[in-house]
């Protein structure tokens, strides 16, 4: 769906109305996953593996089942065989089958009349394990003699000679890279390491499942995609999809980590067996041990540059650790690494390798931050060595409309150069720095996409409007959708209420991911509004006894299209809605689409960092995010996305990491030992929104949610490196690591 | 004939060729012809792919037209967070 050809002055888009969920959230009225309850509800708990890797010899649940108050116990035997290997991996991650693959892997579930009894029952489940050698690090996992996680599956030993733990390989690029390096005046080659991080959402996974004896079930859960939950759970329980209704609760953060299932199938299986509703709420310990960390990485980057800053060639070898099950994130990393550059010669390759860690889950722009970080760090090092301005160099080499992207296609109109120019012109870039301070620059990129979307829009007889969409609101989408409906219909924002429907109330919707919702649901909302307008104009034409084409819609009113149509008093939406039952019945519009044309997104970040040379302690002094948002529907939410992504990236760069012991057990499963940035750690994050219309959306809207987490890793690393005068090449840059580099 | 660019790790299925030609008028036909002419691509196509057509990325858009002038790039199925 293309950008509207008629240029319009927006009346509502670009304003900052109050968020519709604000009062509920600050007063405690909003219902999150753990807030749901049902009569006769049981408490579900999950037994988890104490081992990183072990064969399950036997599971004896008899003592637990005999405990008074226990109503059901389930193991892998209580689930159906999944429909394909990808789905089976998801199920096996929810409940171990044959082997446990990481510390915290689920082994059995219990439902009991109280949490105390459920916990007691877990202790009565006797699991006999044969402990196996484990592997948690990338280089260890590819050694020829490494423990193999899935020896029964046909993973190729690629690169040749490695253990059969590599699930996926990748290779992108074009041009003659060796000739490019030969033409360079300076080549920098360096290896970079990042650690696995968690999405860090405040709300733990929580759900309530209720299945009746007739096999009909309801599930309430916190998720980014309840249609996806429905599909996975139905598959795992051997159910017909129509018999499972899923309702998404309010969500206390997801960031990609709630795009799959963990506890939901277990709660349903327990409910089926017990004949009662079952609620499961993960503890924070479980969230860390058994829900979606991101990948860790080890990347070699080589870039050649001429004395005047022209990049002659780029190469990256990426190795992504993806936890206990196959993953293809390496593709996205290899495609993103050099996307900000217009290069004649570029080559990225790499692989995903499995280890005895929790299964990798998506995290904002999955695969991109860890690929862009090493490239942007080497570009920064080249700029320093050659005495060149880092933004000038990026402008000289920036991808633009017509550039053949490093991953193949030719870019349409993109906003990278405008974003770089905005950063260069901003007072932040020219502000003086003090001793032990450094300024880091990084560009970043994400694809964005649209996807399957359904929207329904109904007129109420008082002239207000109900919009029904099917994507959990993780970043302000209800406000944005209401605004776009109001803009199209020409009525006040306050007259519209947008809700997120359950899976039985609306057609299918893809997960809330890929920065897709404001783009795709917005697009569908505009089309639904246009469908309703068409009906309204037809009704009014009948009232006026003229042709429907002779009626036009303008600012919330049906009007004669011109003088030839006759003279009639305009009719408002409210007037038309009030008499809808007399003119043909309820008036509604709907739209269903697999939306394309989302348009890629670029951002540029500036980070001023101060490092205490005595302790290695870092302080983020100033931080500014520049991003092309297309048309910013609700600028406050766009700024919130830009700030949130920056903060999560700063945490990734400075503090956050999964730490494993020699025994393969996670050492820091809690917010005391896994430290995310808090407000007192950070300066205000400034934002500059650039509004370059997306040609693939009627209002020019572009997704904004993921790109902001891509640049911070390099922006902060480059700032630290410039502050200490030495190149940092491993994250997180905790004080001991920085001190080690300072002291050489 | 429509030229389709194949990403590097799939080129073992196209005898190392980076750009192949297929007779196709839309997204679905491109995939069908790729599977027919290069059976080694079948598992990847079954697992999910996207097509970039003239710079725009499409997922599962069977009836999106392509022409001999189109720039068509086979890409992994795009996912996000």
| Closest by CA position to A90, among listed A495, A455, A361, A385 | A361
Q: Kindly report the nearest CA distance between residue B58 and chain A, in angstroms.
A: 6
- Structure ipTM: 0.96
Q: Which residues of B touch A (CB under 8 A)?
A: 5, 7-9, 11, 18, 47, 52, 54-61, 64, 71, 73, 75-76, 78-81
A226 found inside a domain: yes
Determine, for residues A448 and B59 on separate chains, whether the beta-carbon distance falls below 8 Å. no
| Structure confidence by residue, pLDDT tens digits, A47-79 | 999 999 999 999 999 999 999 999 999 999 999
Asked whether residue A374 falls in the same domain as residue A265, the answer is no
Chain A contact set for B54 (CB, 8 A) = 409-410, 412
A350 found inside a domain: no
A2 found inside a domain: no
Handedness of CA B66, B70, B74, B75 (dihedral sign): negative
Tell me how many helices (H) and strands (E) chain B has: 2, 5
Q: What pLDDT score does B37 carry?
A: 97
Chain B contact probe: residue of A225, A405, A408 with most B CBs at under 10 A: A408
Asked whether residue A662 falls in the same domain as residue A733, the answer is yes
| Structure confidence by residue, pLDDT tens digits, B64-80 | 999 999 999 999 998 89
The residue out of A574, A595, A616 marking a domain boundary is: A595
Q: How far is CA A142 from the centre of its chain?
A: 28
Asked whether residue A97 falls in the same domain as residue A48, the answer is yes
Model confidence at A407, pLDDT cuts 50, 70, 90, reads: very high
Tokens representing A511? Answer: 């997960």
Q: Total domain count for chain A? A: 3
Which of the 8 DSSP states describes residue B28? H
Determine, for residues A706 and B47 on separate chains, whether the beta-carbon distance falls below 8 Å. no
| Structure confidence by residue, pLDDT tens digits, A32-45 | 999 999 999 999 99
Asked whether residue A123 falls in the same domain as residue A243, the answer is yes
Asked whether residue A106 falls in the same domain as residue A204, the answer is yes
The residue out of A560, A595, A630 marking a domain boundary is: A595
Asked whether residue A470 falls in the same domain as residue A549, the answer is yes
Contacts of A249 (CB under 8 A, 6+ apart): A31, A32, A33, A35, A36, A206, A220, A221, A222
A444 found inside a domain: yes
CB atoms within 10 A of CB B59: 23
| Closest by CA position to A451, among listed A601, A259, A595, A260 | A595
Q: What pLDDT score does A8 carry?
A: 78
User: Beta partners for A44?
Assistant: A111
Identify whether the C-beta of residue A688 lies closer than 8 Å to the C-beta of residue A625: yes
| C-alpha dihedral (A399, A405, A409, A411), degrees to nearest 10 | -10
A329 found inside a domain: no
A138 found inside a domain: no
Asked whether residue A538 falls in the same domain as residue A572, the answer is yes
When pLDDT is averaged across residues A500-509 and rounded to a whole number, the result is 98
| Structure confidence by residue, pLDDT tens digits, B2-60 | 999 999 989 999 999 999 999 999 999 999 999 999 999 999 999 899 999 999 999 88
Give the CATH number of the domain where residue A75 resides: 3.90.1170.50
Tokens representing A340? Answer: 């900000």
Contacts of A294 (CB under 8 A, 6+ apart): A196, A197, A198, A199, A360, A361, A363, A366, A370
Asked whether residue A540 falls in the same domain as residue A472, the answer is yes
A701 found inside a domain: yes
Write out the residue range of the structural domain in which residue A511 sits.
Answer: 22-29+450-595
Asked whether residue A487 falls in the same domain as residue A509, the answer is yes
| Structure confidence by residue, pLDDT tens digits, A146-169 | 999 999 987 876 778 889 999 999
> Most distant CA pair in chain A: distance in Å?
87
Give the CATH number of the domain where residue A629 resides: 3.30.365.10
A408 touching chain B per CB within 8 A = yes
Residue A486 has pLDDT above 90, yes or no: yes
Q: Is A166 exposed, middle or buried (0-12, 13-18, 19+ CB in 10 A)?
A: buried
CA distance A367 to A294: 9
CA distance A590 to A588: 7
Share of chain A above pLDDT 90, in %: 96
Alpha carbon distances (Å) from A189 to A97, A336, A482, A641, A661? 43, 19, 50, 33, 31
| Structure confidence by residue, pLDDT tens digits, A546-555 | 999 999 999 9
A336 found inside a domain: no
Asked whether residue A590 falls in the same domain as residue A604, the answer is no
- The residue written with tokens 């139905």 in the block is A234
Asked whether residue A409 falls in the same domain as residue A504, the answer is no
Which long-range contacts does A660-669 make (Cβ < 8 Å, 24+ apart)? A660/A136, A660/A357, A663/A52, A664/A51, A664/A52, A664/A53, A664/A102, A664/A103, A664/A134, A664/A136, A664/A356, A665/A50, A665/A52, A665/A103, A666/A103, A666/A104, A666/A288, A666/A289, A668/A288, A669/A104, A669/A284, A669/A285, A669/A288, A669/A289
Determine, for residues B80 and A363 on separate chains, whether the beta-carbon distance falls below 8 Å. no
The residue out of A290, A307, A334 marking a domain boundary is: A290
Asked whether residue A667 falls in the same domain as residue A698, the answer is yes
């Amino acid at each position: 769906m293309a950008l509207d050809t008629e240029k319009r002055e927006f009346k509502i888009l670009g304003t900052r109305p109050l968020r519709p969920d604000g009062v509920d959230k600050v007063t405690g009225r909003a219902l999150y996953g753990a807030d749901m309850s049902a009569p006769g509800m049981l408490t579900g708990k999950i037994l988890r593996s104490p081992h990183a890797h072990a064969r399950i010899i036997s599971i004896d649940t008899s003592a637990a089942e005999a405990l008074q108050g226990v109503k059901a116990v389930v193991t892998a035997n209580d689930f159906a065989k999944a429909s394909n290997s990808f789905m089976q991996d998801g199920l096996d991650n929810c409940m171990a089958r044959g082997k446990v693959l990481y510390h915290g892997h689920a082994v059995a579930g219990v439902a009991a009349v109280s949490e105390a009894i459920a916990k007691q029952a877990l202790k009565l489940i006797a699991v006999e394990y044969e402990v196996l050698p484990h592997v948690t690090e990338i280089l260890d996992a590819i050694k020829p003699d490494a423990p193999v996680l899935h020896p029964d599956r046909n993973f190729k030993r690629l690169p040749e000679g490695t253990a059969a733990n590599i699930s996926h390989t990748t290779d992108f690029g074009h041009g003659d890279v060796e000739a490019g390096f030969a033409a360079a005046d300076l080549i920098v080659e360096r290896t970079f390491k990042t650690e696995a991080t968690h999405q860090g959402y405040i709300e733990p996974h929580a759900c309530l499942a209720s299945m009746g004896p007739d096999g009909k079930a309801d599930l309430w859960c916190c998720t980014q995609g309840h249609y996806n939950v429905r599909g996975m759970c139905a598959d795992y329980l051997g159910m017909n999809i129509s018999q499972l209704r899923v309702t998404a609760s309010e969500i206390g953060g997801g960031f990609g980590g709630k795009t799959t299932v963990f506890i939901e199938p277990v709660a349903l299986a327990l409910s089926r067996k017990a004949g009662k509703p079952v609620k499961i709420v993960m503890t924070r310990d479980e969230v860390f041990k058994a829900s979606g960390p991101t990948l860790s990485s080890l990347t070699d980057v080589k870039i050649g540059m001429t004395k005047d800053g022209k990049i002659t060639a780029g190469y990256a070898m990426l190795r992504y650790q993806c936890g206990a099950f196959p993953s293809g994130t390496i593709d996205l990393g290899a495609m993103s690494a050099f996307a900000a550059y217009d290069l004649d010669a570029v080559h990225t390759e790499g692989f995903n390798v499995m280890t005895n860690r929790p299964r990798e889950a998506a995290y904002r722009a999955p695969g991109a931050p860890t690929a862009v970080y090493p490239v942007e760090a080497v570009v920064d090092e080249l700029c320093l060595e050659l005495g060149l301005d880092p933004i000038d160099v990026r402008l000289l080499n920036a991808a633009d409309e017509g550039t053949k992207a490093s991953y193949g296609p030719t870019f349409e109109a993109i906003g990278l150069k405008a974003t770089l120019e905005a950063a260069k012109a901003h007072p932040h870039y020219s502000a003086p720095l003090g001793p032990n301070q450094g300024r880091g620059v990084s560009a970043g990129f994400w694809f964005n996409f649209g996807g399957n979307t359904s929207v329904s829009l109904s007129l109420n007889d008082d002239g207000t409007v109900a919009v029904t969409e099917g994507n959990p609101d993780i970043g302000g989408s209800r406000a944005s959708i209401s605004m776009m409906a109001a803009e199209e219909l020409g009525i006040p924002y306050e007259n519209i209420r947008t809700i997120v429907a359950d899976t039985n109330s609306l057609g299918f919707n893809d997960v809330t991911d890929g920065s897709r919702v404001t783009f795709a649901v917005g697009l569908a909302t505009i089309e639904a509004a246009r469908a309703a307008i068409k009906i309204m104009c037809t009704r009014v034409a009948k009232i006026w006894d003229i042709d429907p084409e002779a009626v036009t819609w303008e600012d919330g009113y049906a009007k004669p299209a011109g003088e030839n149509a006759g003279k009639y008093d305009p009719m408002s939406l409210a007037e038309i809605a009030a008499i809808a039952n007399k003119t043909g019945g309820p008036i509604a519009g709907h739209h269903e689409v697999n939306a394309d044309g989302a348009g890629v997104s670029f951002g540029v970040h500036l980070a001023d960092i101060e490092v205490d040379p005595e302790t290695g302690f870092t302080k983020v002094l100033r931080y500014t995010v520049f991003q092309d948002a297309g048309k910013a529907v609700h600028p406050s939410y766009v700024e919130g996305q830009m700030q949130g992504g920056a903060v999560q990236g700063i945490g990734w760069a400075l503090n956050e990491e999964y730490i494993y012991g020699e025994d393969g057990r996670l050492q820091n499963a809690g917010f005391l030992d896994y430290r995310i940035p808090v407000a007192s750690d950070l300066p205000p994050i400034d934002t500059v929104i650039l509004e370059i219309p997306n040609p693939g959306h009627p209002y020019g809207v572009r997704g904004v949610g993921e790109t902001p987490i891509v640049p911070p890793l390099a922006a902060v690393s480059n700032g630290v490196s410039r502050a200490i005068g030495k190149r940092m090449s491993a994250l997180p840059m905790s004080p001991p690591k920085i001190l080690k580099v300072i002291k050489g | 004939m429509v030229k389709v660019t194949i990403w590097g790790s799939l080129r073992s299925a196209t005898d190392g060729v980076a750009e192949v030609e297929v007779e196709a008028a839309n997204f679905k036909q491109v995939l069908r012809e790729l599977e027919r002419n290069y059976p080694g691509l079948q598992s990847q196509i079954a697992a999910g792919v996207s097509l970039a057509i003239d710079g725009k990325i499409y997922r599962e858009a069977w009836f999106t037209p392509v022409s001999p002038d189109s720039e068509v790039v086979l890409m992994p199925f795009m996912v996000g967070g």
